[in-house]
Amino acid sequence: MVIKYAKYIISSPGFENCPPPDKPEYAFIGRSNVGKSSLINMLCNNEKLAKTSAAPGKTQMLNHFEIFSAPSPHPLTVAKEETEKAKAKRDAKEMVWYIVDLPGYGFAKVSLRSRRRWEQMIENYLRKRENLTMLFVLIDSRHSPQKIDLEFLEQLKKWGVPCSIIFTKTDKENQRTVSKNIKDFFTEMKLTWQFLPQFFVSSAVKKSGRDKILSFIEEMNKEIIK
């Protein structure tokens, strides 16, 4: 998949205020400071698309981005320039879809009232947004399994929300530790999950995992956008 263009659309205080549910939608969520905005910017190849901050809890609404994408060039055209005819044919298959940057869960320095409002906003969105195709749950690969992440995934299972996992910040720790943390995380999940979700390993700095995540989204889009 080639991301041709990505633009910010709107920040909504609730799912009722979101854009019309007429396009496939992929939402991203995780604990505060898990690298969510950086990952979205990496996927879209635009460092200024989603606002990043060192202060946890900066994202407070449902932030929609409209994405225009086209299939990747055929491997045989990689070594040579793509013809105008081939490029036009590929562009004709352009897909339009949404990315949603959701508020993080965890221990952001906000009031209890604000935290409850966020939790209700997120729950309503996840359970009622009819065009939500996939929720990507971001997990910090530097840490051993965290109770709050496991509990959030357990809640998603109860709600029947389709989800995949992205382990972030793999460049910040040695690979042996990252592999152990991922293995331990799934060991914990297997205690209550019969089938584990699809997962990806990524680094916004090294752009690792980008192609696999975008290919996964592209395949889902093909099933929806005819």
Encode pLDDT of 58-102 as tens digits: 567 899 999 999 988 765 555 556 666 655 555 557 899 999 999
Confidence (pLDDT) at 205:
93
CA 11, CA 183: separation in Å to the nearest integer? 36
Q: Is the pLDDT of residue 13 over 60?
A: yes
> H/E/C letters for each residue in 136-178?
EEEEECCCCCCHHHHHHHHHHHHHCCCEEEEEECHHHCCHHHH
Q: Are 98 and 64 in contact (CB under 8 A)?
A: yes
Helix (H, G, I), strand (E, B) or coil at 18: coil
pTM of the predicted model as reported, rounded to 2 decimal places: 0.89
Q: Which helix (H) or strand (E) holds 38?
A: helix 36-44
Please name which of 167, 210, 182 lies closest in space to residue 40, comparing C-alpha atoms.
210
The 10 Å Cβ neighbour count of residue 221 is 19
- Residue-wise pLDDT for 209-221, tens only, equals 999 999 999 999 9
Angle subtended by helix axes 36-44 and 210-224, to nearest 10:
70
- Residue-wise pLDDT for 181-215, tens only, equals 999 999 999 999 999 999 999 999 999 999 999 99
pLDDT, the chain, mean: 88
Q: Is the pLDDT of residue 107 over 70?
A: no
Per domain, the residue ranges of the chain are 2-224
Q: Which helix (H) or strand (E) holds 55?
A: none
Q: Is the pLDDT of residue 164 over 90?
A: yes
Please name which of 172, 156, 176, 174 lies closest in space to residue 164, comparing C-alpha atoms.
156
* Residue type, position 181, single letter: N
* The two three-digit tokens of residue 84, written as one number: 């105008």
Confidence (pLDDT) at 55:
47
What architecture does CATH give domain 2-224? 3-Layer(aba) Sandwich (3.40)
